[in-house]
Structure 1
Amino acid sequence: MGVPVFQGFKEFITKGNVIDLAVAVVIGGAFTAIVTAVVDSIITPLVALFYQPDESGNIGPTLTGIYGQSVTFPLGNLITAIISFLAVALVVYFVFVVPMNKYKERQAARNPAVEEETLPTEQELLIEIRDALRKDAVS
C-alpha cells in the first residue's frame, strides 16, 4: 500500500514543471532582495527629492485634514512595491518562461504529436442509428 504512494510522489516531484517552479521561487526570492536594495538606494531617494518625509519616515505628499491633522500618502512605499514586482516578474519571465517555451517548441518539433482518432459527431451517430433501424425494419 505504501509503495504506490511513494511512486506517485516520485512521479509528481520529478515532473519538469514542479522543479522549474521551485527554482523560480528560490531565484525570485533572491532577486527580490536585490531589487529591494536598488529601489531603496536609488528610487526612494529620488522620490524624497520631491517630498519631505513625515515624522514616521513616510515619503509622499502631505495634506492637512479637516481637524488640522496632517496625513502623508506614502508614495515611496507604493513606488518601491511596484518597481520590485515588475523587476522580479521581468526576470522570471525572461529567465524561466521564455527559455521553457522555446524548449517545449523544440521538443514538439522533434516529437510530432500523433493524431488521435476522432470520435464521430452526434449527427453522424444519429444517422447510423437511423440507418440501422431502417435496415431492421426492412428485414
Structure 2
Amino acid sequence: MSEEKQSILNGFKQFLMRGNVVELAVAVVIGAAFTTIVNAVVKGVINPIVGALGTQNLDHYTYCMGTCKTNAAGEVTAGVHILWGSVLSATMTFVITAAVVYFLMILPMNRYKERQAAKAPVDATAAEVTEIELLAQIRDALISQRDGSESDGPGGPTRVPSQK
C-alpha cells in the first residue's frame, strides 16, 4: 500500500475513533428508539385529549381562503385550502417531544451531575497564574519602570530593580 493511502486510512481511523463521532452515533440510535416512546405518548395520551375537544385527527381542521370547491372525493379543486390542523399537530408533537426529552432525560441527568459534583472533593491547590495575568503584570512592571514608580497590580506590589 502506498504511503498516501496509508495516511488516508490512518486519518479516517482517527476520525472514527474521536469521541464525538461515537457519541453522535449513540445519540442517533437512542433518538430513534426514543421516537417510538414519543409517538406512543402522542397516540395514547395527547390525541384522545384533543379528540375530547374535537377530532383525534387534526388533519381535518382546515381553512379556506376565498371560495373553495371540492370534488366528490373531498379534494379541493379551487381556492386556497390551508391545512392549519396539520401544522398544529406537528407543533404539538415537537413541543411534547421537547418536554419529554427535557423532563425525562435532561433534568434528571443535570441533577445527577450536580450530585456527583457536590460529592467530588474540592481542589485546594491555588490556581496557576494565567498567561494574560502574567502579561498584565509584566506590562505594569514596565510602566512603573518607565515612570520610576512602583505598581500595585493584581499580583501585589511589583518592584522593578533599577538598572544604573
Name the residue aligned to 2:161: 135
Name the residue aligned to 1:124: 137
Aligned AA (1:117) = E
Q: Deviations over 1:75-121 (max 9, x none)?
A: 11011111111111111111110111011111111114536323235
SS in 2 for 1:95: helix
Identity, % of aligned positions: 20
Aligned AA (2:90) = A
Distance 1:11 1:110, change over 3 A: farther
1:25-36 aligned at under 5 Å gives the runs 25-36=31-42
Q: 1:82 aligns with which of 74, 86, 91?
A: 91
Q: 2:64 aligns with which of 62, 71, 86?
A: 62
Counterpart Cα distance in 2 of 1:19 and 1:116: 37
SS in 1 for 2:128: coil
1:126 CA displacement = 1.6
Counterpart Cα distance in 2 of 1:98 and 1:110: 19
Distance 1:79 1:97, change over 3 A: same
Structure with the bigger RCO (C-alpha within 8 Å, sep 6+) is: 1
Name whichever structure is richer in strand by fraction: 2
| RMSD, aligned α-carbons | 4.0
1:70 CA displacement = 2.4
Q: 2:27 aligns with which of 21, 33, 50?
A: 21
Number of corresponding residues: 129
SS in 2 for 1:116: coil
- Of the two, which has the highest radius of gyration? 2
Distance 1:60 1:47, change over 3 A: farther
After TM superposition, the score normalised by the length of structure 2 is 0.54
Check whether the contact 1:59–1:76 (CA below 8 A) recurs between aligned residues: yes
Q: 1:12 aligns with which of 7, 12, 19?
A: 19
Counterpart Cα distance in 2 of 1:59 and 1:128: 74
